[in-house]
Structures are given as structure tokens and as C-alpha cells.
Amino acid sequence: MKAKQVLDALEQYAPLPLQDSFDNAGLQIGLTEEQEVAGALLCLDVTEAIIDEAECKGCNLIIAHHPLLFHGLKSITGKNYVERCVVKAIKKGIGIYAAHTNLDNAQGGVNYRIAEKIGLSNLSFLETKQFDVPAGAGVIGELPEAEEEVHFLNRLKVMFGSKCVRHNTLNGRKIRRVALCGGAGGFLLADAIARGADAFLTGEMRYHDYFGHDDELLIAEMGHYESEQYTIDIFAEVLQKHFPELKIEKTSLNTNPIFYL
């Protein structure tokens, strides 16, 4: 399987023009278009251990959600994990590709997958973006029936494997209309309020953003890694649909750098 074929399939699902201006999605290291893909390792983050895993499993392509390279490198001396990953990937002949905010903003992307896991229906983008295809930031939808706040939060904690779900004041509201954004989604809080959401769910948001909203909606954070872990499933489904014969491996490593005591 040629690298170009694999990457074209991913970009058909989540076109690169959908990425936000700050982002750096796409092919980052290695693999010319005509090179053969021996196998693809799917992950959320690229680390040195992930590159070792790819080599061990016979994969010469890593497909990640978070880009390894966000900013330009002025030197590659191995002084940090990003530079060490670059050196290791090149030495081992392993390509690295990232689908980040383009996958966030795509219809059926990260936020749609979170909504599906929670059981939301009647989905629409929380903030529509102007592209040639349907795209937007965040998702809003409805639960089959209203839930108590504590039940809703406990269900999220179990479903996403969160060690801790942070939230604002509980005031006995019923949760039916839910807005969400995987990762760092605090920028969409005002949109969630404007759309009449009972709850706004995201991976992480800033301390000061919590103030002044206790009477408006429930705010909940389940963890950045936890909210985006299902991107790996999206990658797998896209590739299996187009290339059933391609060797596809989901990482066995948890790359979440945050721990709770």
C-alpha cells in the first residue's frame, strides 16, 4: 500500500484545510508518496516509546491525533523529547502523520464520536465553520431522556475512564441538552450557553472560565486525553474500510502524561 493512498483516505475523511490556523496537521516526518506502508500504528500522542512500539510491531507509519511538531525546530540536538522523536523516527525509517483539529472539525470526527458514546442524538455543530464541506467546532445534541447531574457525571467518569471529573456547582438541574468539545474546548462555553445547553462537557478548560455560570449550565471536564482517546477508533475504521489488507495496530500504550494521587 502506497503512503499516498493511505494519507489520501485519511484526508478524504478529515481534509487538511479544516485545521485551525495554529495547527500543523499532515505528514510531518518521512515517507515519500510512493513508499510502501508496511503497517500503521494508531495513537493519540507521539513519544519515543510509541516509535519503539511501531518498530516492534512492524509498522513504518505512525498516525497520531496530536502533532509531534507544532513549531519550527531551529536545531535537532536531542535536548527534548520532540527532537529525540524526530531523530529516532528518521533513523528507523518511520513516518509520522497527524490529524488534529481537522479531525476535530470534521463531520463524524472527534466530537461526533464523543457524542455517540454519550448517547446524544439530533447532533449539530456548536460553532459552524465556513468550508466547502460541513465542518465546525464542538457538537450539541440531546440525551434520550433527562438525567440527574450526579448520574450524568458518574456515567461520564466510568465511560471515559476518567480518574477525576471536575465540575462547577451542582444545583439539581436536569441534563438533557448537552454541548461538548474534546480536548481544550473552553473557547466554546459561550456558544453552549447561547444554544441553551444544560451541560457543557470538555477535556479541559481554564480556572477563571468557571466563574459566573453556575445558574446557566453544568460545566464538566473529564480530562484531555480521556476525551480524545476514541480518535484511534476513527483512524482504524477509516483505514479498514479503504484498505482491509493493511496491517493496522492500535497502540497498547497510555500516553496520558497526567496522573492523579
Please write the tens of the pLDDT for every residue from 160-174: 999 999 999 999 999
- Both 90 and 186 in one domain: the answer is no
Instruction: Give CA separation, 258 vs 25, 159, 225, 231, 254, in Å.
Output: 24, 18, 9, 19, 11
On whether both 9 and 72 belong to a single domain, the answer is yes
Q: What are phi and psi of 84, to 5 degrees?
A: -65, -35
| 146 lies in the same domain as 170 | yes
Q: How many CB atoms lie within 10 A of CB 186?
A: 20
Q: Are residues 142 and 193 in the same domain?
A: yes
User: CATH number of the domain that 25 lies in?
Assistant: 3.40.1390.30
* End-of-domain residue from the set 40, 75, 100: 100
| Angle, CA of 196, 200 and 259, to the nearest 5° | 175
Q: What is the mean pLDDT of residues 190-212?
A: 97
Residue 70 DSSP SS3: coil
Model confidence over 102-152: pLDDT tens digits? 999 999 999 999 999 999 999 999 999 888 899 999 999 999 999 999 999
Q: Stretch 30-51: mean pLDDT, rounded?
A: 93
Residue 68 vs residues 8, 115, 116, 247: alpha-carbon distances, Å: 20, 27, 28, 23
Q: How many domains does the chain have?
A: 2
* Same domain membership, residue 223 and residue 139: yes
My answer on whether 115 and 215 are in the same domain is: yes
For residue 31, what pLDDT is reported?
A: 78
Answer whether residue 255 is part of any domain: no
Last residue of one domain, picked from the residues 76, 100, 124: 100
- pLDDT reported for residue 117: 96
Q: Identify whether 203 is part of a domain.
A: yes
Domain assignment present for 256: no
Asked if the structure places residue 253 within a domain, the reply is no
What whole-number distance in Å separates Cα of residue 112 and Cα of residue 125? Answer: 9
What domain range includes position 199? 107-228
Q: Do 112 and 223 belong together in one domain?
A: yes
Residue 32 pLDDT more than 80? Answer: no
CA distances from residue 93 to 52, 171, 176 in whole angstroms, order as listed:
12, 55, 49
My answer on whether 112 and 224 are in the same domain is yes
Residues 128 and 144 grouped into a single domain: yes
Domain-embedded: residue 235: no
DSSP, residue by residue, 177-215: EEEEEEEE-GGGHHHHHHTT-SEEEEEE--GGGGTT-TT
Whether 223 and 128 share a structural domain:
yes
